[in-house]
Structure 1
């Protein structure tokens, strides 16, 4: 590697998004979330992060035999063995609809500080961790595609491409968290088996209150993430 190549490699670690990069990547992410034909494919990322949030909290709260399913219709399921009640169960149930927005704002924070490489490495490690607990074939395929994409961008993409992709993914997660809550509200008209209903059964607080709490968290993360990606 000559000196010029070394300088380019160094910028991959210390390259924060400009206003134009943050704005353009945000528009692209909004298209990926808002356009129905695209969402039929990209929505699997939101489901994977959602179930990954459940799985991570289950692991941290010492649950056993954590397994994840990702389905073709973008539904998902995380199963684990452990105490049926207690604070751990509440945190695990609440982690799903907040995981995409928290990951999005976390990624935005890393990118605003110029840590593009760290964001990609953490994304790769999280994807590998999810791959270890996914049980069904379609879910494995989804996670492998995600892992291949992160590896391709991280090893073949220029610093500018890596930054734009990382910004787009952060925006995508922030936007998709809001869209998923809209899907949840519509789904609850026909079924009462959502995370919000599980929390309602455990806490005796209305499920609608939990949905509102999810909205507050996700909207706050969108606000903070926007400032980091555009104004950071």
Structure 2
């Protein structure tokens, strides 16, 4: 006589396999003109000050998420994340105040949006749109557990709700175009906060910025760290753009 648990276990495995197959299913890329158009729209949103002021909060989520992820990887104690309505944020960690983990955690924020954009470009270029959307949902859910203010929780829930709605109800073409637009936004938008940071530093308005904290930790000038942030962001943009366009390059 078969045990009920033994019968249930293969069924659960089958459900998990079906879910994994759905997540890793590939989608056909939209036409090249739609990919270019999504990039132009993302650039316009970033370049236009009013729209940037609203959308910059998405970059802040990636920024603080980068701090938090590296803090966990380097075994620092992640105490909490706060996101503010002025699009600023802060990630609180505890551990060695001058160790390598602290340096890596401080350096992760400004490069996180660009690196996330590069990773997303790799998934999108191979057609893994659904996998990308659900990976974003997983990251947002992990951040939600560490949010320590009401506005931050509301912001993550709003973004997560939009991504879930897109992944569950939108047709494949709309998902693909939105994913390409999000990738362009991360790749292009990752650079503007770095340029804004250096502008504030020149005017003495950012004495406690990540770059200046790194300067105090390492005795390497803050300008070096800003240039390093820019280099990582620029390389991510170039390689990410190549990944998005490579399937349209004719083979000789």
What is the CA distance between 1:196 and its match in structure 2?
Answer: 0.5
Residues 150 and 36 (structure 1), Cα distance of their counterparts in 2 relative to 1, 3 Å cut: same
- Number of the residue aligned with 1:202: 217
Counterpart-to-counterpart distance in 2, 1:96 and 1:65: 14
- Number of the residue aligned with 1:100: 113
Write the mapping of 1:75-94 to structure 2, written as runs, cut at 5 A.
75-94=88-107
Q: Secondary structure at the match of 2:148?
A: coil
The CA RMSD over aligned residues, in Å, is: 1.6
- Number of the residue aligned with 1:193: 208
2:23–2:130 Cα contact (<8 Å) kept: no
What is the CA distance between 1:230 and its match in structure 2?
Answer: 2.5
- Number of the residue aligned with 1:211: 226
Counterpart-to-counterpart distance in 1, 2:52 and 2:124: 25
1:18–1:230 Cα contact (<8 Å) kept: no
Q: Secondary structure at the match of 1:133?
A: coil
Segments of 5+ residues of structure 1 without an aligned counterpart are 1-8
2:71–2:78 Cα contact (<8 Å) kept: no
Counterpart-to-counterpart distance in 2, 1:72 and 1:27: 27
Counterpart-to-counterpart distance in 2, 1:43 and 1:12: 31
TM-score by length of 2: 0.85
2:68–2:78 Cα contact (<8 Å) kept: no
Report the structure number with the largest CA radius of gyration.
2
Segments of 5+ residues of structure 2 without an aligned counterpart are 1-21, 248-252
Q: Higher mean Cα deviation, 109-118 or 63-72? A: 63-72
What is the CA distance between 1:14 and its match in structure 2?
Answer: 2.9
Q: Secondary structure at the match of 1:231?
A: helix
Equivalent residue pairs, number: 224
2:82–2:148 Cα contact (<8 Å) kept: yes
Q: Does 1:59 align with 2:69?
A: no
2:103–2:214 Cα contact (<8 Å) kept: yes
1:16–1:115 Cα contact (<8 Å) kept: no
Counterpart-to-counterpart distance in 1, 2:96 and 2:158: 34
1:50–1:100 Cα contact (<8 Å) kept: yes
Q: Does 1:230 align with 2:217?
A: no
Counterpart-to-counterpart distance in 2, 1:24 and 1:210: 33
Counterpart-to-counterpart distance in 1, 2:41 and 2:135: 22
Work out which of the residue numbers 25, 30, 35 in structure 1 matches 2:38. Answer: 25
Residues 12 and 164 (structure 1), Cα distance of their counterparts in 2 relative to 1, 3 Å cut: farther
- Number of the residue aligned with 1:3: none
